[in-house]
Chain A
Amino acid sequence: MSVYTTILRQIINGLQSGSIYALVALGYSMVYGIITLLNFAHGDIIMIGAYIAWLSMAKLSMHPAFAILSAILGCTLLGMLIEKAAYKPLRGSPRISLLITAIGVSFLLENLSQMVFGAKAQVIPSFSNIPSIFLGTIELSGTAVITLIAAAVSMLLLTFLVQKTKMGKAMRAVSEDTDAAQLMGININRTISFTFAIGSALAGIGAVLYCSAYPQATPTMGSMLGLKAFVAAVLGGIGSIPGAMIGGFAIGLAESLVSAIGLSVWRDGVVFAILIIVLLVKPTGILGRPMREKV
């Protein structure tokens, strides 16, 4: 295989994992945008999604389509539940309390699933067998193609939702100025709940796509994935939706290009190096708004 095809193949790999990071990063960014909370439990929602997929297929022998639906639905409900139970009572408290709570929720989910499902990795049956596609001499795995298409469709729908619908406008209004939005008659509880639902649904889609690439579920699988998606959100500019998409793809590509040049031990290292560089050079990220002081 020529160097050229290896690099191209790595780019495809990078886009595949990048689109998963992007989907997860969107959840981080949307939640941060609306209540300035870094929801560190977001990665663990993916882990729960993976276990739901495993339960429904391996234990309840459901059709993969239903397994996918229940994983997405389960993540959505879990996200809304976490917001209602853990974050809503803290509205108006200092941001550090929210952050600590988010880390607590993350530990809770990880340890709870270790108690329930055990520490051993559970193998998730494959969702479907999609044949590979050949582009000239390059073989594209079916999973990669499906992942890219599913991520692209989700992002298009999200963009439409945020830009064109009433609820999307309410979300943007609340994220710019919560008090003014309330005074315009916008129900902020419903808007925040809706934001968590959308962010967690995207995490659910991410969980399904992640499991079709790496078909196993472990209690801690969400933490590294979540951290990398967080870096993607920071790189793109936290709070910005197109930023999260760009950041996700950039992180995925960086990872696989590092592997392509033979430094695969640095896969994780390079992601956090990017975080450090972004924080030093442009802390607001690629598309982030400069911080505005509220007077």
Chain B
Amino acid sequence: MDKLVPLPSLGFIPERDLGSTPILDIHHLGVEFGGLHAVDDFNLIIGRTEIAGLIGPNGAGKTTVFNLLTNVYTPTRGVVLLDGVDIRGKSTAQLNRMGIARTFQNIRLFKDLSVEDNVRIGLHNAFEYSLGSALFRLPSYWKNERLAHDTALGLLSIFDMQSLADKPAGSLPYGAQRRLEIVRALATKPKLLLLDEPAAGMNPSETGELMENIRRIRDTFEIAILLIEHDMNLVMGICEGIAVLNYGRIIAKGTQEQIKSNPVVIEAYLGRRGEAKA
């Protein structure tokens, strides 16, 4: 893991990512729901190949940040630069094509579709063929079909899931569904992968395997990963930069050591010393 170097006023990114545009550059992002500041003055910068973590107590607004980055919610204020490009006004689908893919806290696979078809939905924009060529089964259709099939199986092989390709996604065990969601997101060729609690419901050995895989995905695809996670072993194990969110605001940013020893973070998680222990 590289050491983090400070950037003027913006935040931290790994040293190796210094020369290139950060993949994500968020300034003063905020959203209000009927007067409630769900996320307020959120600033974060993520390097091109960084694995970053977003942590915080329940209800702190972590998933809301993901929803803002994918325009599921429209921000009330703030600027988000994805690979240097302002994402304001882009639709959710456009943002995906620009390079953001995500998974969900509660799994949202297309349960009635096969495992392979789930991945191929992710490949939707990667293969172009006209409806005519499909209906008349022209050679270009078959060529594309084969290519899409091979690509889907190749992606499934990241998690050794090729043999499950024909099973309905809803029939997979829980852990496999979580992995399939990651594969489906990767199929859209993201530059930034958002993982919402990838280790939720996993046992320690599964979590260990997941950590290896997240690192391997970053290395193979050379992408940045921002993850929300409650499992501190995972966060402290793989995240380079960590941001702590509480009541919609970032209360601390930095390396694991800085976060672990930060009294504000400890207070947010454990409460203030001497507070009533009722």
Contact = CB atoms under 8 A, between A and B. Distances in A.
Interface of A: 157, 160-161, 164-167, 169-170, 172-173, 176-177, 179-188, 289, 295
26 contacts: A160-B135, A161-B131, A161-B134, A166-B124, A166-B134, A167-B131, A169-B117, A169-B120, A169-B124, A172-B110, A176-B113, A177-B110, A180-B110, A181-B110, A182-B92, A183-B101, A184-B121, A184-B185, A184-B188, A185-B93, A185-B122, A185-B124, A186-B93, A186-B124, A187-B93, A295-B106
A180 B135 contact: no
A252 B6 CA distance: 74
Given A166-B124, A169-B120, A183-B92, 19 more contacts: A161-B134, A165-B131, A166-B127, A166-B129, A169-B113, A172-B112, A173-B121, A176-B110, A176-B112, A180-B109, A181-B121, A182-B91, A183-B72, A183-B101, A184-B124, A184-B187, A186-B93, A186-B121, A187-B93
A156 to B, nearest CB: 11
B184 interface: yes
A179 B122 CA distance: 13
A176 B101 CA distance: 19
A173 B110 contact: yes
Contacts of B93: 182-183, 185-188
B124 A172 contact: no
Interface string B91-107: 11100110001101010
A184 B135 contact: no
A179 B72 CA distance: 8
Contacts of A167: 131
Nearest to B110: A176
Contacts of A183: 70, 72, 92-93, 96, 101-102
A166 B188 CA distance: 14
B134 A180 contact: no
A170 B91 CA distance: 17
Contacts of B124: 166, 169-170, 184-186
Interface in B166-189: 184-185, 187-188
Considering the complex of A and B, which 7 residue pairs feature the smallest CB-CB distances, nearest first?
A185-B96, A182-B92, A180-B108, A165-B134, A176-B110, A173-B121, A185-B125
Contacts of B135: 157, 160-161, 165
Interface residues of B, number: 32
A184 B108 contact: no
A161 B91 CA distance: 27
Nearest to B169: A176
B77 interface: no
A182 B111 contact: no
Nearest to A170: B124
A183 B196 CA distance: 14
Contacts of B113: 169, 172-173, 176
Nearest to A292: B111
Contacts of B188: 184-185
Interface string B128-163: 010100110000000000000000000000000000
B104 to A, nearest CB: 7
A289 B184 CA distance: 24
B72 to A, nearest CB: 7
A187 B97 CA distance: 10
Nearest to B189: A185
Contacts of A187: 93
Nearest to A160: B135
Given A165-B131, A166-B129, A170-B121, A185 B97 contact: yes
Nearest to A180: B108
Contacts of A169: 113, 117, 120-121, 124
Contacts of B70: 183
A164 B134 contact: yes
Contacts of A165: 131, 134-135
Contacts of A185: 93, 96-97, 122, 124-125, 188
A295 B104 CA distance: 12
B71 to A, nearest CB: 9
Contacts of A180: 104, 108-110
B244 to A, nearest CB: 26
A177 B107 CA distance: 11
A180 B102 CA distance: 9
Nearest to B190: A185
Nearest to A176: B110
A177 B129 CA distance: 24
A145 B163 CA distance: 45
A170 B108 CA distance: 15
Nearest to B106: A295
Contact of B108 (A160, A161, A179, A186): A179
